[in-house]
Structure 1
Amino acid sequence: MLLEMAAVCIPFMLGSIAYFFPFNTCYAYGTIILQQIKLNYFGVRFWFHDVVNARYNKLDLPLMPEKTAIITGGSRGIGARIVKKLLQCDMNVILACRTVSAGEQLILQIRKSGVISGRPKVYKLDNSSLGSVREFAEQIKKDYSKIHILINNAGVMLVPTYKETEDGFEEQWAVNYLSHFLLTSLLLPLLKAGGRSGESSRIINVTSCVQYMGVINFDDINSCYKGTYFTITAYTQSKLAQVIFTVALQQFLKDRALNVETFSVHPGVVNTELFNHTYLRGSWVMSLAKTPDEGAIPILYAALNKDIENKGGIYISNCKEYPNAAWALQKNIQKQLFELSLKQVKLHDFFQYL
């Protein structure tokens, strides 16, 4: 209904704006309005999806003392809840976070809450810096011989103004997608060592339902058209890229007979700091959203559940499999995204470290 209304209203609004403003201004306003309507539509639709499927969003935590897991963005929000639950599984848990002191403080809080199992360790990782990604990976390779679970969780959402990272990339593209693309490649040797037949290592890409409204604009990957920054476009593009990456990488891993599988996960509409840059933060609407604990469950399901062994490449929401976005299944898009990503992170081959 919202999209149908937009189809009627947007042309009228643009016509009104065009009477007073030049074309570029009209295009910018029209795009922003339409994107906001579509974002709200998907938010409401998948909030309802969370409510209807809440009964499936459950998971028993197995004991896995021999496993080692890495989670990026592990010091707050959903990431912090994942860390706590992985420690309850008695795992070795590596917190990769921008502020080491925040991660250390989280561990103290978890211990005070009564969770004494597991072996946590905090490392510095700034996902807005590809140099930091490389430094983190090198340190992990020195300290560990194998990794069983990599949860690419760190992210930013709907930042209000255009910002480039030190490497020259739009912030949401770099943090949400590109840094994790590089990190996964660098850690593949350890993930390969951690997997075995019937018990593969797992790569979890934390994405969003907005993958369905995303488009990869290879001509304007920074989502800044003639000086106007489209933050919704940038965010949805980064989330779609994660899903395309998941699907394409799974096929590459299968072709090489590696015991490593990839999954993309929508945690749900969750009340976390990610909404700080939106008008919803602090409103009564967010009280209807999932809690961070509830948002952590489908991610943990993808990381731990045995029933999805040999189902790599799937998209998970509320501990159930759902279709990937149509864009993610197009081989030419997968190929183009991989080629661009390799160029941006300065790799000649995604598997060059194996």
Structure 2
Amino acid sequence: MDAVPPTDIVGTGPAPAHVCGHDVHTAVGIGVAQVLARLRQQLSRTAVFLFQPAEETLSGARALIDAGVLERMGIEEIHALHCGPFPVGQFALTPGYGMPGQDKAEVSLSGPDALDAARRLTVDIGALATVALPQSPADLERIVADAKTPNGPLARFVAVRATAQEATVNVSYRCWPPERYVEVREDIRRASMPYAGAATRFPAEPFPAMVCPERDANLLAHHLRRTVGRDTVTELRAAFPPFSGEDFALYLDRIPGTYTFLGVRAPGAAITTSYPHYPDFAPDERAIGVGVRAMAGWIAERTHGAQDLPGGFREAEARHRARS
């Protein structure tokens, strides 16, 4: 469904590659559809499957929404799984948290020393980051541990990528909490002010963060502990991971639902084999069956429990328009 381009593979790669788990997600989705098809006579409501491409470019969900899929299908709630660096058989939920959005800036410089100034400004803007890009498996292990820590290092963060292309500095950054974008934009403007002829531009509004409704995630956690096992659920207490966006945010901004990480790390395997976008990403395929059983049970239960998640599509869409 989505191949990661070489430039987005950690350390870069020779060609696009399936190193984010979308092939696993697709297999799980098809498996859940097969199970529910056999149970269709026992379902009280309709389950709709969205096989949506272009998540990596943050454009697929927008295309489906603009095409009217949510209205046409009468979708009232939405649920998703995504591969994560957790032991196979484990699920990681993010009640009240999720994944950061993304914002971009461009700073154009002029003058005889513009090229050197751009390089120096890249360093200055990079210094705004409070969390560094991981450089080793140990860094990844620490990030996973920090994401489970209430009020830990990832409770508030800024992750920045700044590069100089001739006399222009291109900036891409993510932050948490979501409203911190206002503060970070001012910091970028302030960092650029000392440079003669600096012109700072933000090409678009920030892509929204994905915030998982707390009540909905807690309902799913209760279901998984009851049906799969108490030890199969862990809860993240920070946005995770701080270096990727997620266009599922656009769905959750309109209707209630859940987004859960499916553990795909094989016993004894390096964390990079289960952390998306690493070149040696190799998820344990036993996770497919785990995901199918868990999500088929959850969706089947949801067809009988509409009252648990507040509101349906029309009510949620009205709230979205009011916020906009």
Same fold per superposition (TM over 0.5): no
Structure (1 or 2) with the greater strand fraction = 2
TM-score, normalised via structure 1 length: 0.31
The answer to which structure, 1 or 2, has the higher relative contact order (CA under 8 A, 6+ apart) is 2
TM-score, normalised via structure 2 length: 0.33
Structure (1 or 2) with the greater helix fraction = 1
